[in-house]
Structure 1
Amino acid sequence: MMSPGGIVERHRIRAPASRLSAEVDEPPLDRPARRWCQDREVDEGLSPGSPELELRLSPSGVPESPMLAIPLDEWRDAPPDRIRRMADVVASTLRITVGVLESEPTPAMRPLLRALTLTVTATGSGNDRELVRRGDIASSVALLTDATERNPRASVALARLLRQTQTPDVEAGLAAEAATYSMLLGGKEFERWRAEHPVRAGAAPERPPVRIERHDGEARILLDHPERRNALSTRMRESLLEAFQLAELDDSLTQIELRGAGPVFCSGGDLDEFGVATDLVAAYLVRLERAPWRIIHRLRERVTARVHGACIGAGIEMTAFAGRLIADPGTYFVLPELGMGLVPGAGGTVSVSRRIGRWRAAWMMLTGEPVDAELALAWGLVDGIETGAR
Structure 2
Amino acid sequence: MTNLVDRVEFASLLNEPNAADASNVKYFVLDLDSFYPNQRADVAEWIRRQPVPVIGLGSSNRSFIDHFDVVVENEEQLSLLIHAIEAHPKASAILVQVTRVTSDLPINSALVIESLGYGTLQGGVEFKAWLSDFKVQRLERDFEHHGQKNTENHVESSLKTHDEHLLAQKVIVDRFDARVQIRLNSPVNRNALSAMMRDDLTEAFKLVAMDSTIEEAHVWGEGPCFSAGGDLTEFGLMRDLAEAHRIRQARMPARYLAQEAHRYTFHLHGACVGAGIEIPAFARHVTATPDTFFQLPEVAMGLIPGAGGCVSIPRRIGRQRMNWLALTGIRLSVEEAVAWGLVDRQVEAWYDDHLEQG
Fold conserved between structures, TM > 0.5: yes
What amino acid does structure 2 have at the position aligned with 1:268?
G
Per the TM alignment, residue 41 of structure 1 is displaced from its structure 2 partner at its CA by 4.3
Per the TM alignment, residue 142 of structure 1 is displaced from its structure 2 partner at its CA by 1.2
Q: Tell me the residue number matched to 2:85.
A: 148
Provide structure 2 residue ranges, at least 5 long, that are not aligned to the other structure.
140-157, 352-358
What amino acid does structure 1 have at the position aligned with 2:86?
E
How far apart in 1 are the matches of 2:32 and 2:124?
A: 34
Q: Tell me the residue number matched to 1:127.
A: none
Residues 94, 160 of structure 1: 8 Å contact kept: yes
Per the TM alignment, residue 88 of structure 1 is displaced from its structure 2 partner at its CA by 2.2
Per the TM alignment, residue 258 of structure 1 is displaced from its structure 2 partner at its CA by 0.5
9, 33, 55: which one pairs with 2:21? 55
Residues 264, 285 of structure 2: 8 Å contact kept: yes
The structure, 1 or 2, with the larger RCO (C-alpha pairs under 8 Å, 6+ apart) is 1
What amino acid does structure 2 have at the position aligned with 1:171?
N
33, 47, 65: which one pairs with 1:73? 33
Residues 52, 92 of structure 2: 8 Å contact kept: no
Q: Specify which structure has the higher proportion of helix.
A: 2
Matched, 1:114 2:75: no
What amino acid does structure 1 have at the position aligned with 2:19?
L
How far apart in 1 are the matches of 2:43 and 2:105?
A: 26
Q: Which has the larger displacement, 325-334 or 198-207?
A: 198-207
What amino acid does structure 2 have at the position aligned with 1:177?
E
Per the TM alignment, residue 186 of structure 1 is displaced from its structure 2 partner at its CA by 0.6
Per the TM alignment, residue 227 of structure 1 is displaced from its structure 2 partner at its CA by 0.8
Matched, 1:166 2:112: no
318, 321, 326: which one pairs with 2:287? 326
Per the TM alignment, residue 384 of structure 1 is displaced from its structure 2 partner at its CA by 1.0
Determine helix, strand or coil for the equivalent of 2:282: coil
Q: Tell me the residue number matched to 1:131.
A: none
Q: Tell me the residue number matched to 2:9.
A: 45
Determine helix, strand or coil for the equivalent of 2:77: helix
Per the TM alignment, residue 144 of structure 1 is displaced from its structure 2 partner at its CA by 1.1
Q: Tell me the residue number matched to 2:217.
A: 256
Residues 176-208 of structure 1 show CA distances to partners (whole Å, capped at 9, x for unaligned) of 000111111111000000000016776151220
Residues 241, 292 of structure 1: 8 Å contact kept: yes
How far apart in 2 are the matches of 1:325 and 1:139?
A: 31
Q: Tell me the residue number matched to 1:87.
A: 44
Relative distance call for 1:252 and 1:40 in structure 2 (3 A) is: closer
60, 80, 91: which one pairs with 1:104? 60
Per the TM alignment, residue 311 of structure 1 is displaced from its structure 2 partner at its CA by 0.2
What amino acid does structure 1 have at the position aligned with 2:78?
V
* TM score, norm. by length of structure 1: 0.79
How far apart in 2 are the matches of 1:41 and 1:147?
A: 20
115, 121, 131: which one pairs with 1:184? 121
What is the aligned-residue identity percentage? 35
Determine helix, strand or coil for the equivalent of 1:269: coil
> How many residues are treated as equivalent by the alignment?
325
Alignment map for 1:308-327 (pairs within 5 Å): 308-327=269-288
Matched, 1:239 2:197: no
Residues 218, 256 of structure 1: 8 Å contact kept: yes
Residues 229, 263 of structure 1: 8 Å contact kept: yes
Matched, 1:157 2:94: yes
Q: Tell me the residue number matched to 1:32.
A: none
How far apart in 2 are the matches of 1:51 and 1:218?
A: 54
How far apart in 2 are the matches of 1:56 and 1:191?
A: 28
Determine helix, strand or coil for the equivalent of 1:149: helix
Per the TM alignment, residue 92 of structure 1 is displaced from its structure 2 partner at its CA by 2.1
Per the TM alignment, residue 50 of structure 1 is displaced from its structure 2 partner at its CA by 4.8
Residues 300-344 of structure 1 show CA distances to partners (whole Å, capped at 9, x for unaligned) of 111100101110000100110111111112211101100110000
How far apart in 1 are the matches of 2:292 and 2:173?
A: 23
Per the TM alignment, residue 83 of structure 1 is displaced from its structure 2 partner at its CA by 3.1
Residues 28, 54 of structure 2: 8 Å contact kept: yes
How far apart in 1 are the matches of 2:46 and 2:204?
A: 47
* TM score, norm. by length of structure 2: 0.86
Q: Which has the larger displacement, 312-321 or 244-253?
A: 244-253
Q: Tell me the residue number matched to 1:291.
A: 252
| Structure label with greater radius of gyration | 2
Per the TM alignment, residue 55 of structure 1 is displaced from its structure 2 partner at its CA by 3.0
What amino acid does structure 2 have at the position aligned with 1:71?
D
Relative distance call for 1:139 and 1:52 in structure 2 (3 A) is: farther
How far apart in 1 are the matches of 2:7 and 2:243?
A: 43
What amino acid does structure 2 have at the position aligned with 1:190?
F
Q: Tell me the residue number matched to 1:217.
A: 178
What amino acid does structure 1 have at the position aligned with 2:26?
P
Residues 332, 373 of structure 1: 8 Å contact kept: yes
How far apart in 2 are the matches of 1:269 and 1:176?
A: 19
